[in-house]
Amino acid sequence: MPSLLDASACRNLLRTFLAEDIRAGDITTRLTVSPAQQARGEVIAKAPLVLAGIELFAEVFLILDANAKVEFFFHDGEEVAAGKMPARITASAHALLAGERVALNLLQQLSGVATLTRRFVRAVEGTGAEILDTRKTTPGLRDLEKYAVLMGGGKNHRKDLGQAILIKDNHIRLAGGVSAALTAAMAARGQVAWIEIEVTNQEELRAALAHDPDVIMLDNMQPTLVRQAVKEIGLHSAPHKILTEASGGITLENVRELAETGVDWISVGALTHSAPAVDISLEIEPLN
């Protein structure tokens, strides 16, 4: 199990996924395949990808068959060419057939996230900007999808609502403005990882700078405006470096231009909410 993930929590999650799919039992396999049948399953990449979740994939079958044997030929974070075999599993045929869909769905989804993340990371190489994920994750899969972002070479933004303060447009309106929101939030400085506020124009930016937050998010700004804002933030005298983050409408087509503005972070919701699953198959053959 990947060391970056909670092994016990992952196993419980996998058991939930299996229970959802198997329910009363795999009736097709029970009627057509002998319980004594042993088989070998070869994981095959059908397209180039960045691997993420291969140990979770294997764990699905270890839950169903404690005697399953797994061979890994690639590891999470590695690039796998089309036609290559990341892993091979020998187990009860019943276990392989019952767990196939859950294991593949998870591996395809997580590898899809890692693969898209790698494309964004490569697009900004040499600029100093870091690619971050967001909280736009699949409910129940946040830890796994954020892990996949790491395997793609990206960074994790806040994990949950309690880790850091991020004051967004709705908070600002409800609090009564940028200054009011930041004044209230500063009471928690030192108790959270960082304090961040979203701004959309120069007026909000200057109001934010008066409070010296840890991070200023430049939301849905064109590259020219981001460059100007980064320069202004850099000239501002503060007891610490104020980090800058660009967010909103980030694509592979515009991410390089944004990165070249000098911004520190670029957060991309698409890494998790729009990553296409990659094509991976499990080819099963009988052993006896």
What are the pLDDT digits (tens) for 198-234?
999 999 999 999 999 999 999 999 999 999 999 999 9
What is the average pLDDT value for the chain, to the nearest integer? 97
The answer to whether the beta carbons of residues 264 and 243 sit under 8 Å apart is: yes
Closest CA to 56 of 94, 98, 12: 12
Give residue 212's pLDDT.
96
State how far the Cα of 217 lies from the Cα of 198, in Å rounded to an integer. 4
The confidence score (pLDDT) of residue 117 equals 98
**CB-based contact 258:266 (threshold 8 Å):** yes
Poorest-pLDDT segment among 97-106, 146-155, 233-242, 259-268: 233-242
Active site residues: 101, 136, 168, 198, 219
Does pLDDT of 81 surpass 90? yes
* Model pLDDT for residues 172-186, shown as the tens digit of each residue: 999 999 999 999 999
How large is the average pLDDT for residues 101-121? 98
Q: For CA atoms 25, 30, 33, 39, give the dihedral sign.
A: positive
Residue 237 confidence (pLDDT) above 90:
no
Domains (ranges, CATH) in the chain? 7-121+275-286 (3.90.1170.20), 124-273 (3.20.20.70)
Q: Write the CA distances from 233 to 160, 180, 244, integer angstroms.
A: 27, 20, 8
Residue 46 has what DSSP assignment? S
